[in-house]
Structure 1
């Protein structure tokens, strides 16, 4: 089931790459809604599940919350290191484009998508409900992943075929990640800790990348309403699944 659901990530990533190639003016609404969904998944599903299953406290703080903060910080550090690498190449090469930087950044996004797939598979080990809600968050933000993978690769002077190849790799990554979880089963406590860590990563992506990108060129009320709608939809989904 996890692999079949991960195919939704495959399709959405390709849609994002296709959109980047043809450029549309409605991307900000999709990103706004995706950011709201991701916020809802973290706050209404991942964190409660992680707190319930992780158990132990470390110096008075639940292990799940420590891992949540660690996930957020790891995502931030990785993003900053990539940004510094790009800046360093820019300083050395002036206005000249450096294709390797674009490929490296796109490769990092492929690695992130692989982790997304592992999260989907691991969530299905908890329950079908958890699996579907995590998959929903991953699938919605994979549109942005596909869009950004294509854009970043092309922005640094790489050929169109290389950009499309990176989008293809990014699309396949979550399917491979989900399939890998068929080979192992995480203990319940370790799984809860992983969900806490992944929640921190997901929140960082939503707060630092998806939502700012959604409002960058279109700081419109419609974008904000889409974000609120995304969080509300996730609240309803989680509430209905718990009844």
Structure 2
């Protein structure tokens, strides 16, 4: 079975929407928590999410890119994807919960929106990865897309919880924390639509876009998530959580593939 261009676009868009919605699911528990999560629990949750992302990047983006396009185009795509995220990270003003301010200093931008911009920079490439992963429209790529969407959805749940709790610790109400976290998740369908559109319009470039998404994901994991999880002397717990997340996603990828 091979999907039409419109079906590929629809699958990528809908899958990225569902994956993004998982962020809201992860943020819901804050309404029922009597105590917020400890820093160690947050670091472990984000470490697990990083492991899931890392496995999805390796097995569902990089491996197919090499299979369909070869090592050269894959290397080029990864490098360009990382450079694009580096430029966005450098020139877009944003605020990390732990690392603090990055990018230009714009006093007119409220701090909460700096947080939202940071999360957007994080989630956009995830949505794009889902969108491009359905490219080709073959049965193999449909399975691949489902695996990527599942991986992003799984990691968005603990990430949504961690993000909402971090907003609360930053002084926002539970309602604000939930909606800001939910908003950050729905950035992913935008990336999904763009990624799916690129693939439909430029199908021969599928390996490049898979590698591009992989490079962006690797940048996010290394530059954003891991430093956040290692900022409270919980490196060991965060590291083993990452390994556990990687193994869970590897097993899931093998089961679905």
* TM-score normalized with structure 2 length: 0.70
1:27-176 matches, within 5 Å, as 27-55=42-70, 62-81=72-91, 82=93, 83-85=101-103, 88-89=105-106, 100-107=110-117, 109-110=119-120, 113-126=123-136, 127-142=141-156, 143-144=158-159, 147-148=162-163, 151=166, 155=170, 164-176=178-190
Contact in 2 for aligned 1:39/1:206 (Cα 8 Å): yes
Normalized per residue, the structure richer in helix is 1
Contact in 1 for aligned 2:48/2:241 (Cα 8 Å): yes
Q: Counterparts of 2:109 and 2:29 in 1: how far apart (Å)?
A: 21
Distance 1:149 1:74, change over 3 A: farther
Aligned-pair RMSD on alpha carbons?
3.6
Contact in 1 for aligned 2:164/2:177 (Cα 8 Å): yes
Q: Secondary structure at the match of 1:229?
A: helix
Equivalent residue number for residue 12 of structure 1: 23
Contact in 2 for aligned 1:41/1:234 (Cα 8 Å): yes
* TM-score normalized with structure 1 length: 0.73
Equivalent residue number for residue 212 of structure 1: 227
Moved more, 188-197 or 104-113: 104-113
Q: Tell me by how many angstroms 1:213 deviates.
A: 1.7
Stretches of structure 1 lacking an aligned partner (at least 5 in a row) = 56-60
Equivalent residue number for residue 96 of structure 2: none
Q: Counterparts of 1:14 and 1:237 in 2: how far apart (Å)?
A: 21
Q: Tell me by how many angstroms 1:24 deviates.
A: 0.9
Stretches of structure 2 lacking an aligned partner (at least 5 in a row) = 1-10, 94-100
1:28-87 residue CA offsets vs partner (Å, 9 max, x unmatched): 2221111112222222331111122235xxxxx71221110111222223223334446x
Q: Counterparts of 2:198 and 2:79 in 1: how far apart (Å)?
A: 28
Q: Tell me by how many angstroms 1:18 deviates.
A: 5.6
